[in-house]
Structure 1
């Protein structure tokens, strides 16, 4: 008597159902990993860029400069640009697993970074040409760039309800404001230690959580 006569599934059919459920579960975990970037990586990238980049700027503008001025300007520029590229990749990765209006929002958010920094470069360059001192120009570039980063991350955190992005944006804005109050060259030291150190501390926290609870998402 076969399965059609008894009304019961054959053993191989039951096995296929189990394998299908396992495959669905595995695919779900894969999609989750693809859509949600690791906050440890994000905090480490920005923390390293701030700590090393603005640390180099401080060494070039301190009371007794340790490195050439051009190097103090080039190092943070290169590192922050690299962190910016990683941030765009983060946003694209978050939006990769969605479609429809959500995908459009992700694309608009990614382009807002390019538009924002392009316009910021025009504004800051024009202001400097109108007679800003070198110290004021240094504060303008560093504070305005970090303020823009903070606003963009706040927006991204609200759009995707991502507390990691939102916290990153809030901390960026606080450090930008504190750096301006410190003046030059103290602003570079504040951004290096408070900004970079704060991000690296958060990276360590998320790393500890993921290590302590491997099955738990950060």
Structure 2
């Protein structure tokens, strides 16, 4: 959707958000690949990389502005992260996660989108007109962060899980210090037509 309707200015502004999250992104992420000969045309590839990341962040903006995000933003965030995580594993199955000339690393895309969502949910104004999440919802977000780090190989020397829990606890501490929680969790039930959210007790 972002590729179809996002204007040039919107994409430029979205990528500026990415640069605030990861300064020197070209120098740190793509120039090393170019020096190793993995990128055939640096200028063309970086242009495509920037556009993909800009559209990822525009997509997050569309999610935030949707009616679904009003009463359950956490599930919408999890859906966006799930989609990017699926790209990581699909890339591994397809070509061993070889460098793409047109799309930045799915892990990098996940990292930027996750950081952007964190900026959003840590801003208290985000919750002025939305239902506050429950504790388990915030834990879901922390687990997504740890899962991506696991998929990227950050925990190889720490397979016992203690390091994972440390990162999860740190993320939870940050969120609990900024995000108002409701104490009531969103619960979904399977029906013949798919999933539906169970009504909250009145």
TM-score (norm 1): 0.33
Higher helix share: 1
Work out which of the two has the higher radius of gyration on C-alpha atoms and give 1 or 2.
Answer: 1
TM-score (norm 2): 0.35
